[in-house]
A and B are shown apart, each in its own frame.
Chain A
């Protein structure tokens, strides 16, 4: 009880800090210098209509590479943690009973409505995901969003068909190759253009077209694939703790 009161007091103090913060806040009426530059120069410099994309992929490309890395290691970490114990004598206290219980939960079938809907929607969802990351430089969306949509497709699949098999090998290869390609593009930026992750290694193309904005669509393809597969992999891990390597 005393602990609760302490917590309450501390949070009240924090709230006091926040009130101070909000009280001094006033909405911006014009762009910051940085934003101004991006809005003014972004389209011509990088050829991307979606300025957020320009910022994400190129101006702050290093962030995005890091972001991809974060997802990558989260997926790897989840895999590492949720790997199935291989030997009985491993130092874990996973008991036989638990395992049976777990399987029982996993085997519960989905309703027919879900199954049917999934079969119908899944290709469209995936297609939409691809659309979103391909057009990331032009319209709202991008690699992450697209990847997330693809992963939601996987989610559907797993809900509808809990027993369906997702190829680990395919995930691993796609994940690795798309990540590696992303790095390669970045490196090419140093050699062929102005610097690491510079998207201008290939021509900027015609402004507003699909094949424009240099390497941005390319990067978004890789990001989209990577995110999609990684999130799918994470979902898959949580579905059943697997023993497969990675």
Chain B
């Protein structure tokens, strides 16, 4: 029993490492791409790693209190945990992680874990920007949750399961079986929600580097910040993996995973480059209009298509 647990933990550590590194690299890749588009050179690929290391080895740190101290811990635990409950590579026992502890529903709710913890930590810093950022982030979250939830319900109806593994399994056997093609309405709704979820422009006001320097993490620095930076890469990649599993047929190997997730990510990047930032109330209204409508249609659609 114990050995089995350790074995799994070991396997998961490997996944964790790969996904984190991949996340950081993707981040650098996107930065570089945007820079190229804008006629700059951009950062080297090692830059994210250097950033993390640099903050990690800072010799001074201040603390505003115990919750402040625990905030980054919650945050990265949320990231790691979310990944832990998602099977990463289809058909691979090694990279199934702890997905048999819970289903899709667990993953969706566990995504809040880090956000909540982080919000508490940032709250204790006593910095108004943190609070403002959190208020905005939470508000926006309630809005993109709606199309996302509708899309999820749609595919749960479609596949008649909440198990991510089974959802992926159902999409095997060719691209035409991907949710993207079998239930493109739901995928569209989900991808619109994804824009909000990634926090890229036009939905990046909760971080808003201009008015409220980087939002909730304002007061965090040194080792705290390194944890947050790591998580940013890790959590971003985790969400990509989740979307890949749900809508894009999953992946049977790491290469497929990387190609697919990068492609998904590009959607957000392209939209982000093309559109200016929404105010919070605007983005809320946005999500409640077209995306929600599409989500509703997706359920009607799936009921017509997949239930007798």
Q: Are chains A and B touching directly in their complex (CB below 8 angstroms)? A: no
Instruction: Using CB atoms and an 8 Å cutoff, list the residues of chain B in contact with chain A.
Output: none
